Structure 1
């Protein structure tokens, strides 16, 4: 099986298909590389598409040490995949956890990102509730360790932001959470504790975000309440950002509405590659006063 190796010797399983300008797909916490199959099939018609499983998600390695799961590890792992494949820069398409890592790449290595699609971004960012969110992450990690992935999946599948997927596509929803039930429990616990519960809130990164030149498409489901305000925040502060909301949609946007997702992202990437997705024209910004 193909693997890229990180600086701390973690092997990351990846799949690639197609040729052309590279696209790197970064999955959410409850998923793995297979989450992107509808997009791999669609975008590989005109691009070189790569999807990988993050550390802690088999068939990638599952490091034993909890300290090996910081948010820094996750965004540098994305770069390690590109380095392994000899790719200087790519379009980054992320969902949730993958969106956060894509944003971190643009904050720390903007020369590697042609664009970033940030879908379902920023859950848990609220500064007022940050301590509560982090405690929830620690509790959830403990549940993975004591109950196992199958039991935690039963709870996760009924979370509010996941219900629109169930309503629209019960079969797809069932398949998605059957896959989560098979996740490595220790890897999920460490990811929940280290990445999810340890990453900085995007609201603490305002000054840095304002300097990011990367073209960005922000996508949010209008029934994914935890991500609505963070998405508006990113639109306000990312200089070259566009924002769209998917109606009657929750968190798993690329699977809930695959045709709409693919169409929207395809148009975005085409405009970026044509040099037509720039920073906001200052004439469109209302004068404060």
Structure 2
């Protein structure tokens, strides 16, 4: 059973080449896309109230990330890839929904995903917003890619 959603939010399962997961939507289908990425120990539900505050020309989109909420539990995270599984899942979702470029918002773990998306797919991003992100080097390092 899926979690109930607030009025003005719709939820559906979306299946891409990477992942089948619960995705929340707000705003018009043809609105300017804003993808929200939740933090650790969370789900797309975390973003519902924020999505409802978007100006009317925006389409809010928030997916349960791999390993969380309504994401297919059989699809595992490959920790050797850092945040890349999450980035790949997010890009595959936006491709599936027909959004070449979009605004990207992330909090906590979602902020790490945004850092990695900025580095790996900047041409896809209209803007980025980070709220309390972790280190761009991931969970291990704080100063450099070597993990120191």
TM-score range, shorter chain: 0.7 to 0.9
What are structure 1's unaligned runs of at least 5 residues? 126-195, 206-289
Q: Give distance in 1, aligned partners of 2:136 and 2:104.
A: 22
Indicate how the Cα distance of structure 1 residues 21 and 65 shifts in structure 2: closer, same or farther if over 3 A, else same: closer
TM-score by length of 2: 0.77
Indicate how the Cα distance of structure 1 residues 69 and 84 shifts in structure 2: closer, same or farther if over 3 A, else same: farther
Could you list the runs of 4 or more consecutive aligned residues of structure 1 that deviate by over 6 angstroms after TM superposition? none
CA distances 1:145-196 after superposition (whole Å, capped 9, x unpaired)? xxxxxxxxxxxxxxxxxxxxxxxxxxxxxxxxxxxxxxxxxxxxxxxxxxx6
Partner of 2:5: none
What are structure 2's unaligned runs of at least 5 residues? 1-11
Residues 35 and 105, structure 2, Cα contact 8 Å, conserved in 1:
yes
1:47 to 58, 71, 85: 58
Q: Give distance in 2, aligned partners of 1:65 and 1:106.
A: 23
Deviation for aligned residue 1:77: 0.8
Q: Give distance in 1, aligned partners of 2:42 and 2:80.
A: 16
Larger relative strand fraction:
2
Indicate how the Cα distance of structure 1 residues 93 and 65 shifts in structure 2: closer, same or farther if over 3 A, else same: closer
Backbone CA RMSD of aligned residues: 2.4
Q: How many residues are aligned here?
A: 131
Q: Does 1:23 align with 2:11?
A: no
Indicate how the Cα distance of structure 1 residues 93 and 107 shifts in structure 2: closer, same or farther if over 3 A, else same: same
TM-score by length of 1: 0.41
Partner of 2:117: 105
Deviation for aligned residue 1:79: 0.6
Partner of 1:203: 143
Larger Rg: 1
Indicate how the Cα distance of structure 1 residues 11 and 44 shifts in structure 2: closer, same or farther if over 3 A, else same: farther
Local SS of the residue matching 2:78 = helix
Indicate how the Cα distance of structure 1 residues 201 and 91 shifts in structure 2: closer, same or farther if over 3 A, else same: farther
Partner of 1:76: 88
Residues 27 and 58, structure 2, Cα contact 8 Å, conserved in 1:
yes
Q: Give distance in 1, aligned partners of 2:13 and 2:54.
A: 21
Partner of 2:3: none
Instruction: Tell me: higher relative CO, structure 1 or 2? Use CA pairs within 8 A at least 6 residues apart.
Output: 2
Partner of 2:46: 35
Indicate how the Cα distance of structure 1 residues 64 and 76 shifts in structure 2: closer, same or farther if over 3 A, else same: closer
Residues 22 and 47, structure 1, Cα contact 8 Å, conserved in 2:
yes
